[in-house]
Amino acid sequence: MTHGIALIKEILIGDLDNTEQINEEKAAGKQIHPYAKHITRECTAIVRNRPVDQKGIYILEESYYTYPGKETEVKPLLFFIEPHGEKSVLLHSMQVPERLEPAEVINANEHLFFDFHELKESERFKPALYEYHEGEYFTVHHPNDLGNGMTFTLIETLTKDYLQVMELLERDGQRLTPYDTPLIYKRIKT
């Protein structure tokens, strides 16, 4: 395993949320960001028929978002992360197979598996380069053209202490994301 893969695994794997950020916003009088939680685990072992020479790992991220006054949105995300150079990594967003209901695609599902032959990369989210920086952190600034004037830009700084995540959705240059600053995820202390 390369240094970049080992480090990004250490940063991403676990349970993280932005409770501290939300509490600060509420104390200041207004919640701006949704409450957001990631439950992320490596799931390479449940990918059947994977080529033995494939370098990289698969991770399953359960993402939960709760906007003030709305029901929680659940988004299961499957990623393949491969080495890129000595320390950087390339993240591929994979489509969750259609045979699976979203509620089944959770890390706690003991029966969950993926078959390598059914996995396809997302057509809309192109591979993102996470650049390694001395000091043991990664950054990404990754625009995606969704068509019809829509763009989605992922801007992240990932460290061992926090994840700073901005998912910027725009139409014809106008921001649709209801906030203009990143979510700040920290590891949930158990």
* CB 114, CB 46: distance < 8 Å: yes
Tell me which residue range forms the domain holding 172: 3-187
0.85 exceeded by pTM = yes
* CB 121, CB 150: distance < 8 Å: no
Task: Tell me how many domains the chain contains.
Answer: 1
CATH number, residue 115: 2.40.128.590
Please give the chain's pLDDT, 190 residues, in tens: 788 999 999 999 999 999 999 999 999 999 999 999 999 999 999 999 999 999 999 999 999 999 988 999 999 999 999 999 989 999 999 999 999 998 899 999 999 999 999 999 998 899 999 999 999 999 999 999 999 999 999 999 999 999 999 999 999 999 999 999 999 999 998 6
Cβ contacts of 173 within 8 Å, gap of 6 or more: none
| Cα–Cα distance list, 89 to 69, 113, 130, 138, 170 (Å) | 37, 24, 5, 9, 26
Nearest alpha-carbon partner for 81 in 124, 127, 139: 127
* CB 117, CB 109: distance < 8 Å: no
